[in-house]
Chains A and B, each alone.
Chain A
Amino acid sequence: MKRLAAFIGFFLLFLLANRFLPEIIDPYYLHLFTLSCINVILAVSLNLINGTTGQFSLGHAGFMAVGGYTSASLTFYLGPKIIATLDFLPAILAKNFVFLFALLGGGLSAAFLGLLVGIPSLRLRGDYLAIVTLGMGEIVRVLILNVEAIGGARGFSDIPAYTNLFWIISLTALTIAAVASLTASSHGRAFLSVREDEIAAEAMGVNTTYYKVIAFVIGAFFAGMAGCLFGHYLQLLHPNSFTFLKSFEIIIMIIVGGLGSIFGAVVAAVILTLLPEALRYLGPVKDWRMVIYSLALIILMITRPQGLFGNWTPDFRRWWPFRKPQPVA
């Protein structure tokens, strides 16, 4: 009951935000906010694979691309037909229904690819897995380049602009909540045990194969939804947005934040989205911004290799005013 109330409360809050925020905030800041949120979804979902489960995946951009392109083809080719059959609904509801359908389609297709990639991870470990996931991402990109129906090398343009603040905020919140509660559950312990010592975990009866694949599937699902948001926000998808450099970018976010820390992933995703923008204002040295960015990364790794937050996640529940008194351990 309480949960349902909280859910409806958040739902209404996000709807209000969607209605009123664009009127009071500068569009440039809203643009940065949207990009930050998409990167937060990517970083948090990759953190489940790389941080919590300890599998080294370098192909997150590939999952994002599959999700983005699948959902864009759904809304572009199927969307008008679905809206036509839903003519008894108000137009805005029908549109958002189509977008929900596309989000799920994008997420599920990416999750299916995650399943396919997760299966070799049964046999490969460490650097070999890293290079196979990287290769998967590149294969996806080259295949997209060769399919004319989704734009090929020109990019997929004229995607309907369905992404709005409501979807951005609620999916970001959903991703963080889902990954956080999953990590805190007994399944989360199993993920952690795979990371810490696979052989010991197996000896304790953890089905390591299952958990490795599941981590890939869930991580890919959210990355696919991020791709869907990205495509329906920019209204254009281009294969060059999904090179391995994009995967590196997401990896850098979770490493800078502190591998395994969801809080760190969120903060680092926001910082690293805003940093190159902020460096634009440096005036004479603005040509140097990417050099500064890479130097900062090297220096950070040398001076603070555990990332900004290490494994630390603040206990937000401590600040919740209505919580029951906790027994003193």
Chain B
Amino acid sequence: MQEFLQQLVNGVSWGSIYALIALGYTMVYGVLQLINFAHGDVFMLGAFFGFYFSRWTKIAQEPTLFGFFATLLFAMAACALVGVIIERAAYKPLRERPRLTALITAIGVSLLLENGGQLLFGVDPKFFPSLISETRLYESANLVISNLPVIILVVSLALMLLLRFIVMKTTIGKAMRATAFNREAAALMGINTNNVISFTFLLGSALAGAGGILVALTYPKIDPLMGLLPGLKAFVAAVLGGIGNIPGAVLGGMILGVSETMVAGYISSTLRDAIAFALLVVILLVKPTGLLGSRVGEKV
């Protein structure tokens, strides 16, 4: 039972990171119907921005809670900037083109960030400084809960609530929802859809940047290809919950994180990478639009 709880704690903390990344995928898909394959690499950039910022400001040498939040905010802001630049430079010229073209461009941007990262940061993994010293909050015979998963969970939940507030309560959030519903009609109503799309990228990339920092806290080995698999799995999480659906992304991320750690803990850790996809295939066979996705009728 306690082992199960231990796995559950780890699973939920992984799941919340998947959910953070999946939110970016799902929001961009909502407004553009584009699978932004470069999103996983923005997540990688978040970890590297945090790495260089904390070294440059000497936060890495004497970690404080304030320093951690400063690093987090810096990485989020830098990633948001990168996301907007990617959108303006690579995706905007393709807005009216077939969707496949934008998809291939997204793969191109992803390759560019990975290879550029290998050139810039070096191929060897770097060690992310432990910005928060690990302490044990609860300890018993075989259940140890340290502060890291709790901090990860709290930070990601706070960010998700903030996102929900922005999307549901503010004017720009309303514009985002309108654009996702029907871009042309939104533009006719006087919404500057280009700005809304850029803002969507800004939000999504900032969340990915935060995800990068949070992952680097628990798995401090960071390298330019670290975004590849988590990015893909976060996308799977978004599809699992119904792509384009914000609560769906959170649900999908949590399901994925928990089931991955359970499989790794109880069956075999080498099968861990397959479970995400197996789960995806099974759920899509039963419900082709994902758990919370709604079926859109095709107009003839």
User: Which positions in A face B, CB cutoff 8 Å?
Assistant: 56, 120, 123-124, 127-128, 130-132, 134-136, 138-139, 142-143, 145-146, 153, 199, 244, 248, 251-252, 255, 259, 287-288, 290-291, 293-295, 297-298, 301-302, 305
CB nearest neighbor in B for A288: B119
Assembled-state Cα–Cα distance A298/B85 (Å): 14
Q: Are B232 and A244 in contact (CB under 8 A)?
A: yes
CB nearest neighbor in A for B97: A305
B277 on interface, CB distance cutoff 8 Å: yes
Residue among B97, B104, B105 having the largest count of chain A Cβ atoms under 10 Å? B104
Query: What is the CB-to-nearest-CB distance from B289 to chain A, in angstroms, rounded to a whole number?
Result: 7
Count of B interface residues, CB-CB < 8 Å? 43
Q: Which residues of B contact A294 (CB under 8 A)?
A: 108-109, 111-112, 115
Q: Are A295 and B278 in contact (CB under 8 A)?
A: no
Q: Which residues of B contact A302 (CB under 8 A)?
A: 90, 93-94, 105
Assembled-state Cα–Cα distance A139/B280 (Å): 11
Assembled-state Cα–Cα distance A153/B112 (Å): 28
Closest 4 CB pairs of A and B: A135-B277, A142-B274, A294-B111, A290-B115
Q: Are A131 and B239 in contact (CB under 8 A)?
A: yes
A297 and B111 in contact (CB under 8 A), knowing A132-B284, A287-B119?
yes
Q: Are A127 and B112 in contact (CB under 8 A)?
A: no
Assembled-state Cα–Cα distance A291/B109 (Å): 10
A301 and B281 in contact (CB under 8 A), knowing A127-B35, A138-B273?
no
Q: Are A251 and B104 in contact (CB under 8 A)?
A: yes
Query: What is the CB-to-nearest-CB distance from B263 to chain A, in angstroms, rounded to a whole number?
Result: 11
Q: Are B109 and A298 in contact (CB under 8 A)?
A: yes
Total cross-chain contacts (CB, 8 A): 109
Assembled-state Cα–Cα distance A251/B107 (Å): 10
Q: Which residues of B contact A134 (CB under 8 A)?
A: 232, 277
CB nearest neighbor in A for B117: A291
Assembled-state Cα–Cα distance A132/B287 (Å): 13
Assembled-state Cα–Cα distance A120/B280 (Å): 12
User: Which positions in B face A, CB cutoff 8 Å?
Assistant: 29, 33, 35, 90, 93-94, 97-98, 100-101, 104-105, 107-109, 111-112, 115-116, 118-119, 232, 235-236, 239, 243, 268, 270-271, 273-274, 276-278, 280-281, 284-285, 288-290, 298, 300
A127 and B280 in contact (CB under 8 A), knowing A138-B273, A146-B268, A251-B104?
no
Residue among A123, A131, A136, A244 having the largest count of chain B Cβ atoms under 10 Å? A131
Assembled-state Cα–Cα distance A302/B285 (Å): 35
Q: Which residues of A contact B290 (CB under 8 A)?
A: 128
Q: Which one of B100, B108, B280 contacts A135 once the chains associate, using CB atoms below 8 Å?
A: B280
Assembled-state Cα–Cα distance A136/B273 (Å): 12
Q: Which residues of A contact B35 (CB under 8 A)?
A: 127, 130
Q: Are A305 and B281 in contact (CB under 8 A)?
A: no
Q: Are A142 and B270 in contact (CB under 8 A)?
A: yes
Residue among A127, A128, A244, A298 having the largest count of chain B Cβ atoms under 10 Å? A298
A123 and B285 in contact (CB under 8 A), knowing A131-B236, A294-B112, A305-B101?
yes
CB nearest neighbor in B for A248: B107
Q: Which residues of A contact B277 (CB under 8 A)?
A: 134-136, 138-139
CB nearest neighbor in A for B235: A131
Q: Are A132 and B90 in contact (CB under 8 A)?
A: no
